[in-house]
Structure 1
Amino acid sequence: MRAFRAGLLVGCLLVALCPPVEAEPGPSSRDVKKARQAVRDRSQDLSRTTAELVTAQSRLDELAAQVERLVEAYNGEVVRLRQAEEAYAQARARLTAADAEVELARRDVALLAAESYGGLGLMKPVVGMLVDRGGTDGFLHRAGVLGHLRGERSAILGRMRDAQEVAAILRAQAEGAYAARQAAAERARQAKIAAETAVAAQRRDTRELTARKESLQRQVDAARSRAELLARRRAAALAGLVTGGSTMGDAAANWALTQLGKPYVWAADGPETYDCSGLSMRAWEKAGVRLDHWTGTQWTAGPHVPLDQLRRGDLLFFAHTGDPSTIHHVGIYVGRGQMVHAPQTGDVVRVASIWRGDLVGATRPR
């Protein structure tokens, strides 16, 4: 009994002197450390993913610009081919008229030959002179008639010779116009092949890059806050871009905004699909201004406008080196630093910021 009491006393003393260890309140320092590491890892992943996304988008932009150059080169060759065809048609019309004149002259010459060699017409004065017994007056009269007929024969022959020379000149011009038309047709054919080849390659690369871009975008979106995601996805305020203005530029801009969402197709000019210069051509057509389906002539379709004086409907041009001769894209200014454009294969007509690194200037068609 005494031993039991002693043991109990020792136990109580141990409890009093050494209380049990309590659980650490809140997250442990290890948990905090792990959480902080997770934040750093997530931030690094986000940085890498964002960089990859920028690289993928840059490649897509490069492909789009390359294709646009070839597409616009094709559009330019089509314009030149149409001009060559018109020149050839005019040359053919002039040649046809000249050939008709030659034919008329040839008939007169044939009649002259028939009369001369058939013993008629011009031979009668000669025979008359040989048998004339009427004195000096009769002889002189017949000699005058013969001289007049010889002059008329010379005029007929001269008219035919002149008609033939004119026809020869016009035939050479027509042949030159035909050769120019054939050369233009061949250039257009080659430009079309180049554009089609580039578009096919772009489609292949775009499918792969777009899939990669979408995957990366999903990763970036997952790392963003809801507020950031909503800000990135916020659509252009269409209601704020459409105005009730009545100028030609307003008419072009407002019509272009009605085409949002329609697919980009190279060399297309509506009504269901467009390329960049096809959209701008149709927009200004609605305003009563005719443009070619080519950035090359759209750039010179009116005065160039300083970027700080833009008005709705002005055409914005983009080039690789800042040199207008390398223009590859056009958009339609709709206000608030925004434009409507048909961007590239696989995309649709959309609103975008005008402030790109390759913006080279603006034109106000008239």
Structure 2
Amino acid sequence: MCCLMVALCPPAEAEPAPSSREVKKARQSARERSKELGAATAELVTAQSQLDGLAAEVERLVEAYNGELVRLRQAEGLYAQASARLAAADAEVERVRQEVALLATESYGGQTPMAPVIGMIFDQGGSEGALHRAGVLAQLWGERAAILGRMDDAQKVAAILRTQAANAYAAQQAASERAETAKSAAEAAVARQQEETRELRARTEVLRHEVDKARSRAKLLARQRAESLSGGLVSGGSAMGDVAANWALTQLGKPYVWAAAGPETYDCSGLTMRAWEKVGVRLDHWTGTQWTAGPHVPLEQLKRGDLLFFGHVKDDPSTIHHVGIYVGDGQMVHAPQTGDVVRVASIWRGDLVGATRPR
């Protein structure tokens, strides 16, 4: 029953060619979008200027952080030196303290400088013994005074170095805090810069896509109307090239997907392969062999349907990274990149390396 009903249904009529009013309306829409882009571009210029100023501030803050890191390393070095000197001074204090402790122990055990004096009082050995004991007494008092003097000196030096070490530690802590503050400021500025850059780029891309879509639709409608009025063939290209170019224009708005070749999604060489397939020309799904699929055409002799290639070195197909199909007026249809759609764009890009006319 379904098959019968389909068979009885009259064939669908071809869609009528766009009217001049539709073409005019599409062109007006493109102009309005262009005006919006112009106004938005002025805003973007201001935003970019502010972004440039922010970038300069970011660089200043980053360099301020770098400076604080240098000062922190210097403060850490000074603190390490002060700590080492203090450790040596404390070791000297401890060594002298042990000598004083030994002196105190001897005094407590009766071995004091006064023992020779007592012996001298009760000495019956005459003046020679007395002189000997007097010499011993002087030596003992001198050694004791020297030990106590070294103890006093060592403690004074240690106190001075302890103050220096404390000051160095305080300086290190202050430098560390300044470095952390500078780091936080730099990180916040960088994050703000990145966010504003993303927003600026996103706004720009949205506006450009809107304008491209409007221009693409206007060009498509104008082309379809011109074809209708001229009997289906637009001057300026070969019959096969026109068919390929016209078919490519019917794919506008379909998403770019890597390695896709239709019918709903395309990558660049997938789109051109399918376009020339419509006229019986088989191309590989690769820009490398599409580049050699026909004679190379001078850019001033381009015709509709010619393939335009973008890369770096003409003699090395592996450097060609993109292809589009020429549709006239310096424009091409192409599948640009991930996140984009099939659209019309200018052929004049810095990486344009040449054109091929498939056969």
TM-score by length of 1: 0.47
